[in-house]
Amino acid sequence: MQKIKNIAVIAHVDHGKTTLVDGLLQQSGTFAAHQEVDERVMDNNDIEKERGITILSKNTAITYGDHKINIIDTPGHADFGGEVERVLKMVDGVLLLVDAQEGVMPQTKFVLKKAIELGLKPIVVVNKIDKPAAEPERVVDEVFDLLVALDANDEQLEFPVLYAAARDGYAKWNLEDENKDLTPLFEAIIEHVPYPEGSADASTQAQVFTLDYDNFVGRIGISRIFNGRIKKGDEYTLLKADGEKTKSRVSKLIGFRGLDRVEIDEAEAGDIVAIAGFNDIDVGDTIADSANPQPLDPLHIEEPTLSVIFSVNDGPLAGTEGKHVTSNKIRERLEKEMETNIAMKMEPLGDASFKVSGRGELQIGILAENMRREGFEFLMARPEVVIKEENGVRMEPFEHLVIDVPEEHQGTVIEKLGKRKAEMSSMTPMPDGTVRIEFEIPARGLIGFRSEFLTDTKGEGVMNHSFLEYRPYTGSVESRTQGALVSMDNGVAVAFSLFNLQARGTLFIEPQAKVYNGMVIGESARPGDLEVNPLKGKQLTNMRTSGADDAIKLVPPRKMTLEQAMEWIEDDELVEVTPENIRIRKKYLDSAARRRAARDKKAAAQS
């Protein structure tokens, strides 16, 4: 039997997982000496490269001595926790990376909690020890305290610790050791990660944990073989979660070697392979022996906590910039996304709109960004939390929020969060002069808070949050205090007019931008919306003025990203997403209709 080790690399966002996997790939001799390889080679789609984050979990395999090590690189952002949950069931050990300066963060707790529940023993890697404010010993103590708080067993508490700088390609057992390479980490994986359980001679059982798609062979299930063997061309039974059974032949069996996928004829218990040939294969399905089909336990994925309504663009500029604009096209694209992304859900609402639910704004924002790049044009409403009802009590999701702020800004931030129903649970001074404050806050209270937070801390604050639990509904939460500057006409914005509007607030558009009646062109400096005319040019006369005209000096506009726009809007506003622009508009473009809707809402609230 081939000697196999299966590990997942888990950590908070930006603690160095993908960079560490780079180092393991290079130092295992996976790449040829002359081969040129990108940085963070596992982040292979455009948005991952641009943002420097991992969105989809990806697997690779390296050979070290006589061992094959299957490595799964997981996302570190809370919104992609669904990816991490299902991956952990497929491995026998985890590498937990913790930043030597930042220490334990919300997502560290989330991913480690999942690993401990599954009985996995962590190998702790204190990464980025070359940072000037690094405190490796403090971080090891934090990890130990966290494991105790998570009810880890004695074996899990005896975790090995390595110190590393993944970017420089070295790891060591003791801080005093000489820096060389990642050999200590390879040795730790071989020594501390258990071999896969299960027998190659038992009845076949494999479980799908990630889906892929190929235009030639259709859906591909990336699966871990728990028992038995899988051979190309043989017939197996696909067991679905609802008990349905279908038989099919394996048309393609693919193994992993570095970044390459290699067609193989056979794989056995303990290995991770990609399997094609089953049309309706899904995450959590079991591929079993046809003679004795035995299902494995289905995968549990936590429910979405946030939803956004996608709808067809019905504004004056609809169809002028996008290629796919109809409800049928939008529906097809969303259905395709749901096939491979099981942490999200979609339900049609009937009026050419669709309710998409996910784990957070970033996850839904990245879906919208991908659609936009593919030529889609659509509208998005304000994100709303998913409310549940348990025993007649309305329940809403709460988040664990951790913020690091300079001391002089902590009062402002605490005051703002207090208005959003946040409760402070701890405050700790950090070695770099900042203060770490932890809160428990309704997920609703975080919508729209990030941009305010960055302004209040002059861009120096860092905030992270992860899902905590559902709790009883806490009543209304304060949201945006400023109104909007709303265009009252259709046309092209003029510099002279924008120059005069600068005093009224912050502009989102620049001269020559297309605008229409009901489009939001800026944020008002005061509460309440203000209707303005950005098309008004200078009145010209045949009289000469004494002296030259003053030069028009415009402040650069605030360019909204998709996530910022989603956070900024209120219930009566929409984000218009096209391949070329992100605009904000009112739901009702006509001012009389807006006033009527506001009156009705006020009357409903009073009754």
pLDDT digits (tens, 9 = 90+) for 289-305: 888 888 888 776 667 88
Which pLDDT band, with edges at 50, 70 and 90, does 81 fall under?
low
- Whether 130 has a binding-site annotation, put simply, is yes
pLDDT at 36: 46
Please state, for a pLDDT cut of 70, what percent of the chain lies above it.
89
**CB 13, CB 77: distance < 8 Å:** yes
pLDDT at 282: 77
- Whether 14 has a binding-site annotation, put simply, is yes
Kindly state the average pLDDT of the residues 500-528: 89
What is the amino acid identity at position 19?
T
The predicted-structure confidence for 300-347, as pLDDT tens digits, reads as follows 666 788 899 999 998 888 888 888 889 899 998 998 888 767 778 888
Which pLDDT band, with edges at 50, 70 and 90, does 83 fall under?
low
- Whether 127 has a binding-site annotation, put simply, is yes
Which pLDDT band, with edges at 50, 70 and 90, does 355 fall under?
very high
The predicted-structure confidence for 453-496, as pLDDT tens digits, reads as follows 888 888 788 787 777 888 888 877 777 778 899 999 899 988 88
Report residue 428: phi and psi, to 5°: -130, 125
What is the pTM for the complete model shown? Answer: 0.73
Quick one: which H or E segment has residue 599?
helix 591-606
Domains in the chain: ranges and CATH: 3-192 (3.40.50.300), 205-289 (2.40.30.10), 388-472 (3.30.70.240), 484-539+551-606 (2.40.50.250)
Query: CA neighbours within 13 Å on the CB side: how many for 500?
Result: 11
When mean pLDDT is compared over 42-51, 177-186, 433-442, the highest value belongs to: 433-442
From its phi and psi, is residue 421 left (phi > 0), alpha (psi between -120 and 50) or beta? left
- Whether 336 has a binding-site annotation, put simply, is no
pLDDT at 380: 92
Q: In angstroms, what is the C-alpha Rg of the chain? A: 27
134 three-class SS: coil
| pLDDT higher at 107 or 255 | 255
- pLDDT of residue 56 exceeding 60: no
pLDDT at 575: 92
- Whether 128 has a binding-site annotation, put simply, is yes
pLDDT at 37: 45
Whats the size of the chain, residue-wise?
Answer: 607
- Whether 192 has a binding-site annotation, put simply, is no
Which pLDDT band, with edges at 50, 70 and 90, does 583 fall under?
very high
How far is the C-alpha of 591 from the C-alpha of 546, rounded, in Å? 41
- Whether 179 has a binding-site annotation, put simply, is no
Please state, for a pLDDT cut of 90, what percent of the chain lies above it.
8
CB atoms inside a 10 Å sphere around CB 209:
25
- pLDDT of residue 535 exceeding 70: yes
pLDDT at 2: 62
pLDDT at 34: 40
Q: Share the mean pLDDT of the chain.
A: 82
Report residue 191: phi and psi, to 5°: -80, -40
The predicted-structure confidence for 193-213, as pLDDT tens digits, reads as follows 888 887 888 888 888 887 777
The predicted-structure confidence for 112-154, as pLDDT tens digits, reads as follows 888 888 888 888 888 888 888 888 888 899 889 888 888 888 8
Quick one: which H or E segment has residue 534?
none
- Whether 578 has a binding-site annotation, put simply, is no
* Residue 199 exposed, middle or buried by CB count within 10 Å (0-12, 13-18, 19+): middle
- pLDDT of residue 54 exceeding 70: no
pLDDT at 464: 77
pLDDT at 33: 40
- pLDDT of residue 565 exceeding 50: yes
How far is the C-alpha of 475 from the C-alpha of 460, rounded, in Å? 31
pLDDT at 576: 93
**CB 205, CB 182: distance < 8 Å:** no
**CB 445, CB 422: distance < 8 Å:** yes
